[in-house]
Structure 1
Amino acid sequence: MTALFKSLHRLLSALSTAALWLSAAGLVAMTAAVAWQVFGRYALNDTPSWTEPISLLLMSWFILLGAAVGVRENFHLGLDIVRFFAPGRVARVMDGISLLAIAGFGIAMSWFGSTLVVGTWSATIPVLGIPGGIDYLPLVVGGALIALFALERLVGMIAFPRQDVVIAQAAADPEAG
């Protein structure tokens, strides 16, 4: 179990790193597109029409990829005050329930996002000339990654119950398990 989890941990770590880099690249690209839009509007007196839809698409990608990485690294939003004051076992049960809810939410995002992709693929984003379903691909990919990373943490929490750190780091500890 430990060797399998370590292998999966390395794979998911690489996937998380790639998602983070893509998210950062999307943020930079969106910033460049918005800067070009402002420059075009005020300096050239000719606003480029493609910058707004591409900025929205890039923003969807970097938000959802970043959110998935946040789930893996335990930086996601949460109300921890009750958990903070709960006894150890109760807090772990709360963590498990939370991770199951996050995984379920990610699966729902991916499932219903794929329905939106299929339903809007035949439409075209006018200014960009690309299928409309591309607008919803970040929901599918981001939701799948959120579910995958939440399940990784849940399995890590069960496999390495003595760890009191971020579960994603448990596989890196040769003493664990």
Structure 2
Amino acid sequence: MQNTMKSVARVMGTLSGAALWIAGIGLVLMTVFIAAQVFWRYLLNDSLTWSEPASVMIMGWFIFLGAAVGIREGYHLSFDILLHVLPQRGKEILHTLSDIFVAGFGGGMIFYGAQLAMKTAGNQMPSLGISGAFDFLPIVAGGVLVVLFSLERIARRAAGLHTARFGEAEQEH
């Protein structure tokens, strides 16, 4: 089981790395688009009508992809004070419960994000000329990654392998 989980972890690591690269490229693109808009507006006295909606859409991608990677790495928001007084088994149970709740949240992102995308699929963004569904696809994609990465953390823990950030702290105590 541990060898299988190590293989799964390599695949998930590749997926996580790709998501992080896409998020980073999105951040750079958004910055370039906003800088171009400022240049066009204040120096050329014109406007790039597509730059703001494109930047907002790209921002959705890097936020949700980056958040999913943060969950995989164990950097999501948590309240760890109780973990300092619990034995190892109690820590693992609480971490697993946390991962179950996070996976459920990711499932909600998929479900409700898909509903929003379907409801806006017929609308067209005037300045970009694409479907309004594209505004909500980052929620769905981020939700898929959140679920996958949360399930990976649970499976790694069940196989006796520690998860990234929490595993390091658990091995020290």
Instruction: Give the distance between the partners of 1:56 and 1:65, measured in 2 at CA.
Output: 14
Specify the alignment match of 2:64 in structure 1.
Answer: 64
Aligned pairs for 1:22-171 within 5 A: 22-160=22-160, 163=162, 166=164
1:175 aligns with none
Secondary structure at the counterpart of residue 6 of structure 1? helix
Q: Share of identical aligned residues, percent? A: 43
Q: 1:67: Cα distance to partner?
A: 0.5
Indicate conservation of the 8 Å contact 1:110/1:144, yes or no: yes
RMSD of the alignment, in Å? 1.8
How much has 1:39 moved relative to structure 2? 0.8
Secondary structure, in 3 states, of the residue corresponding to 1:32? helix
The secondary structure found in structure 1 opposite 2:136 is helix
How far off its partner does 1:169 sit?
A: 8.1
Paired residues of 1:107 and 1:143 also in contact (CA < 8 A)? yes
Greater RCO, 1 or 2 (C-alpha within 8 Å, sep 6+): 2
Give the distance between the partners of 2:11 and 2:153, measured in 1 at CA: 14
CA distance in 2, matches of 1:168, 1:41: 48
SS of equivalent to 2:44: coil
Match of 2:52, SS state, is helix
How far is the alpha carbon of 1:80 from its aligned partner? 1.4
Give the TM-score normalised by structure 2: 0.91
**Is contact 1:72-1:168 (8 Å) kept?**
no
CA distance in 2, matches of 1:50, 1:85: 53
Q: Which runs of 5+ in 1 are unaligned?
A: 171-177
Q: How many positions carry a matched residue from both structures?
A: 168
Deviates more, 1:152-161 or 1:11-20: 152-161
Cα drift, residue 75 of structure 1? 1.3
